[in-house]
A and B are shown apart, each in its own frame.
Chain A
Amino acid sequence: MIRLEKRQSPARLWSVAAPLLAVALTMVAGGVLFALLGKDPLATIRTIFWDPLFGDFAFYYRPQLFIKGAPLVLIAIGLSLGFRAGIWNIGAEGQYIMGALAAAGVGLALYPLESAWIFPLMVLAGAIGGLLWAMIPALLKVRLGTNEILVSLMLVYVAEFTLASMALGLMKNPEGMGFPGSRNLSQYPSAANLEIIAGSGMHWGVVAALLAVVSAYVVLSRHMLGFSIRLSGQSPRAAAFAGVNAGALVVICMGLSGALAGLAGMFEVAGPAGRVSIDFNVGYGFTAIIVAFLGRLHPLGIVLAGGLMALTYIGGDIAQGSLGLPIASIQLFQGGLLFSLLAVDVMVNYRLRWAKRRII
């Protein structure tokens, strides 16, 4: 009979090894799934994880890695701050939408004016849009003690309907011949989030993501705020005695994650997506939750996890085109990754012992 024995302190080796083991386990499970779907498992895994990086058309897919990875990393960095403190912002998808809508609103209102101030103004609007949307669950939690998980999640649906109403109504392109969707912001020079180096996939969102990673690293390891966040996550009682203001921490963590999610939406709507449309959001806000956990809620880990998750999006698209792999199996794969990580995580805090007698 195997039983678990609590470790004195979390095992460092395992906390690094667990995500790697989880990825390996999920790949094996994914191979079985692909085989069940009647695909060659090895060829499918190569198509998803190898071809976008080193295949014949890698020059086309590598930039995609930045385009898909940047919003994931940006959102996940914000979420990781709250998750570390035990504050569960599950509504990043809604904050992402509202950030995009706020930024697009500014851009569309100023069209066709050309000015160097428009893009920075849109960045600001995006961050504020996400921030305000996140303030709803944050303030309700602090003032009234409502559950931030449920409120932030309900607001995702509200944001989705707002997006639909904007794409079909207020922000609809007046020259769009009646089709839903706004003007294309990526063709409006003052508002476009263009690539900094053409063909590299490096747009301003990637720069913002890197800045967020570095700032988060510094804050978490060197700043008092980072200490308060980590302390609150490990022991709320100890944090209270240490003088951490729990309410302020909720507002700061939710606000930061909302602003970052809003920024991600802004860079997406002004660049790769280009316009406000009904199907603008593709679930980055939810996938970022997986990225945050897979990256161990650590800034550098989140970069790696964001890259891997971006790879599954790109490789999944290729596999759908060339092998006919259903796109839902990629979603299943991503969810499975979080499951296996949580399963393997038991080794971080516990060790296995052979028990002589049975203990219930």
Chain B
Amino acid sequence: MDLSAINPVLLLASLMVAATPIILAAIGELVVERAGVLNLGVEGMMITGAVCGFVAGVASGSPLLGFVAAALGGAAVSLLFGFLTQFLLSDQVPTGLALTLFCLGLSALIGQSYIGVKGPEVADIHIPLLADIPWLGPILFQHDAMVYVGLALVGAVWWFLHRSRAGLVLRAVGENHDAAHALGYHVVRVRLVAIMFGGACAGLGGGYLSLVRVPQWTEGMTAGIGWIALAIVVFASWRPGRVVMGAYLFGGVTVLQLNLQAAGVPVRVEYLSMAPYLATILVLVLLSRNRSARAPGALGRVFHASR
């Protein structure tokens, strides 16, 4: 065992990369849940994004097109969920599960001839001046563009939810859909847009996994990250800023256990690999003490305009 082999700068830098797919998926789901919809299909939408992004990236050779395809793929399958829950009024919990199970099969089918194929190169951005700062430069300013897109998205969502009129409507729909309906807002329309946004974000997160983080396509490669993103939304008590905190916490646990594996800590690899999942449970437990965290009022409830 050689703990000195762990370089703290590299550790923190890879933490930001490891957290990015969780940030992307979680910020999308946060908007969906603020609109009062519980979509448990994040894992499914992520893996669809992963395969669509990878296939498009390989076919075109352009990572940008790959990410566009990933977002479109995630949004497309989220519409299945949207149609069932918003028009056919199905229960959101089983529908989200169905979406995940369906997408795991779909992605395996689409990706079967792409296993072992090499994806397109994604370049790191070297932000002038800032990247040259010792310590901070490599940690913060030498990443690929999606790391910054993820953070910008969190800022944009915060502004949208708390500073724009449309965000206020979305929150009203999520808190009390009957009241929002009575005020003349289109509950179903708002929710469908939110669901699609969530799907696109989860798709981007999945695309980030297959194009940057891994970078390869393997079946079931999301390995529960979509579910962890769902837990992060609960952890963040439905507030955008805290999503980043939660995602970095998990990025940190993931990266640390990978580094410990590499350093040859005398603990079986399998037990180290459990760490992110156990940390998720731990965080959910710790959070349960925080009584101020309150879910959106209409979360998970079926909306049927009877009048």
Contact = CB atoms under 8 A, between A and B. Distances in A.
- Does A associate with B in a complex? yes
Interface of A: 4, 6, 88, 90, 136, 140, 144-147, 149-151, 153-158, 161-162, 164-165, 168-169, 286, 289-290, 293, 326, 328-336, 338-339, 342-343, 345-346, 349-350, 359-360
Given A90-B97, A151-B281, 13 more contacts: A147-B284, A150-B230, A154-B227, A162-B270, A289-B101, A326-B109, A329-B105, A332-B108, A334-B105, A335-B101, A338-B102, A346-B89, A346-B90
Contacts of B109: 326, 328-329, 332
A293 B277 contact: no
B234 A150 contact: yes
B292 interface: no
Contacts of B230: 150
A350 B89 contact: yes
A359 B84 contact: no
A284 to B, nearest CB: 13
A339 B284 contact: no
Interface string B248-272: 0000000000000000000010110
A157 B278 CA distance: 9
A335 B105 contact: yes
A145 B102 contact: no
B112 A286 contact: no
B224 interface: yes
A330 B104 CA distance: 11
Contact of B274 (A136, A146, A157): A157
B304 A154 contact: no
Interface of B: 40, 80, 84, 88-91, 93-95, 97-99, 101-106, 108-109, 112, 181, 186, 188, 219, 223-224, 227-228, 230-231, 234, 268, 270-271, 273-274, 277-278, 280-281, 284-285, 287-289, 304-307
Contacts of B270: 161-162, 164-165, 168
A194 B101 CA distance: 32
Given A149-B40, A326-B112, A88 B284 contact: no
A334 B101 contact: yes
Given A338-B98, A342-B94, A146 B105 contact: no
Contacts of A338: 94, 97-98, 101-102
B285 A336 contact: no
B288 A150 contact: no
Given A154-B227, A360-B188, A144 B288 contact: yes
A343 B234 contact: no
Contacts, number: 140
A132 B228 CA distance: 23
A333 B186 contact: no
Given A330-B105, A331-B108, A342 B90 contact: yes
B295 to A, nearest CB: 10
18 contacts: A6-B306, A146-B284, A149-B40, A150-B280, A154-B227, A154-B277, A156-B224, A158-B278, A161-B271, A289-B94, A329-B109, A331-B108, A336-B102, A338-B101, A339-B95, A346-B88, A359-B307, A360-B181
A144 B91 contact: no
A6 B307 CA distance: 12
Contacts of B80: 339
Q: Give me the 8 closest cross-chain CB pairs, A-B, nearest first.
A: A335-B102, A331-B105, A332-B105, A328-B108, A165-B270, A335-B101, A144-B288, A338-B98
A31 B166 CA distance: 43
Contacts of A140: 281, 284-285, 288
Given A154-B231, A286-B101, A360-B186, A343 B88 contact: yes
Nearest to A331: B105
A360 B305 contact: yes
B89 A157 contact: no
A17 B278 CA distance: 43
A163 to B, nearest CB: 9
A145 B97 CA distance: 21
A313 B91 CA distance: 27
The winner among A136, A145, A286, A339 for most chain B CB atoms within 10 A is A339
Contacts of A165: 268, 270-271
